[in-house]
Structure 1
Amino acid sequence: MSQLAAQLDVSTATVSLALRDNPAVSLETRKKVQALAQELGYIYNRQAASLRTSRTDIVGVVVHDVLNPYFAEVFRAVEAELEAQGFTILICNHRDEIHRQRNFVQVLQQQNADGLVICPSLGTTSADIDAIVRSGTPVTVICRDVDGATAPSVRGDDFLGMYEITTHLIGQGHRSLAIVGGRRMTSAGRDRHGGFLAAMREAGLTPVADIPELMTLTDGRNVVDRLLALETRPTAIVCFNDLIAFGVMSGLTKAGLRPGVDVAVTGYDDVDGSASWAPSLTTVKNGSDEIGIQAARAIKALIEGEEPPFQRLLIPPRLEVRASSTGG
């Protein structure tokens, strides 16, 4: 570092920041430092630097499904916000298995990660989150809540979003509604299911089917035969997320039915592609960008030893009405 600083006539502190791509150093200077470092074969030793600063500038992001485009959107927002502050992001996929989550957390702590952003797996308790907090590692919870945990959390208002989309279907004249998907042991699964049931009760209706634990496009495609075999066929199918809805619409089409015309279908999350699907999908915009930005701000504040900007933050949902529920 001293050699780089001397050749470029800058301080070693400037070299250190530039090698970490910290925006506190001008882009021009960062490029000069990084270009010379590459020419000289220099590799920044993050572990050695952490001994001096007690910081690694690493934040771990732990989610349950990196293949779900919604979580990819949340991660992208977290990453963009934190990278602008000079952090490097490591992502882990626990696949909703608590032992994998605990293992990832342990490994990230062993690597002295400055903080963790976690979408908690099934079975996560307040004791799990509080143990991380007590260890001294800042943590922020996203997308799912953990009742009683002391860490800040940010997620969409799942109850309200599902209530609104169910009310929309009832307003379209539907009386035979089915709900499919969602892990009811998570806050998202519980709240979306609760919002659906609240809207149904208000209208004096009972669901013709209530099928939990489905999460993927394949799950949605496979459940269609079961729904069509019901004594009372649903005229509207309310899906826990957009992936299930895509699968349901594919299954209906294969069965010779027209999604949005013969059977209404709704999703949740408004992932990329929802508006361009055929038919375009009625869904709920679930604030992926805002959740990611707010989570990044909270974890940065905790890392800096400051009070987080919130303890519990619900991002308001936005109903996106499209052809899959209106036939238009």
Structure 2
Amino acid sequence: MSDAYAAAGVDTDHADEGVGALVGVLRTIELGRPSRSVVPSGHYASVLRVTDDLGIAISTDGVGSKLVVAEQADRLETVGIDCVAMNVNDLICVGAEPIALVDYLAVEQVDPSALARIGQGLKVGAEAAGCEIPGGELAVLPELIRGHPSPHGFDLCATAIGTVSLDALVLGDRIAPGDALIGVPSSGLHSNGYTLARRALQEPGPTHPSLALDDRPAELNGASVADALLEPTVIYVRAVLDLLRSGIPVHGLAHITGGGVTNLLRLGAGYAIEDPLPIPPIFDLVARLGAVEAPEMWEVFNMGCGLVATVPEAHADEAAALLASHHTGSRRIGTVTDRTGRVDVPPLGLSYPTR
């Protein structure tokens, strides 16, 4: 992986090693009973068997360093949407319907006004996803949390649960060469790659000065840097639930987050992105100012596609139309291949893994 992301402070290869070390220990937990887990580690959400027919799906995630931009811009009202989205969009990828979420909010100091503004986003996100927020946790941690600026720092994470019939799980095991890939547009960066994006935009480079959050570079078509960076993550729940209930066979669902197109590989098989969705202008700006080459951009960011549904070729048009009725611009972007473990982007000459 990239030299630019590692130079910005995130070495994804090293992070993968760390996750492997942690999971290696957790796999040795002795329960004294058979495991209830029915989904292999590394999928989008965990699923536990509750009865012979019912599973509970669980996902946990946070907003990440997008929060730094929210603090700097003093725009706290939308990051709760991102927190909900990052969790519920993972739950639906196993075929689950989100039912509830609990948030964890760690703050440098308690500011009731700021907490209410953060809560606004959580409310909007929960309503969009159709899930409750019955509780959560507020931790005041001045020794651990430092703001941008201090003392207004905070971290926002959540855990979401959903229900799924065990005979309706969507795990990718039915994906076959020739299946169609239907891409659903993103709204921009969503909540991934912000360490690299902020470095590209907010630090001076050899040929350009740093950008202020209220700057409006030509690439953004009138939007400010803050507008582009704080555009909320799209919540795909209602569209996917409609797809799952439509009778169209859904062989796989992939939430395209950090790791870009390689997220498809969580489902197995191989993939060709033959007709990518349009790329929002924020990505071109990050690539230009950060001198980030295309292979890395596609391995770090969603590049305009936030969700991919895999359906049989015969149902491609129907699935695309249904998803487009919720998210304009959804359409077929590619095909499942027999190159297991590979994602190719033929129009750009890209192939992953890169090594």
TM range (shorter): under 0.3
Q: Counting strand residues as a fraction of each chain, which structure ranks higher? A: 2
Which structure has more relative contact order (CA 8 Å, sep 6+)? It is 2
Larger radius of gyration: 1
* TM-score normalized by the length of structure 1: 0.23
Q: Counting helix residues as a fraction of each chain, which structure ranks higher? A: 1
* TM-score normalized by the length of structure 2: 0.22
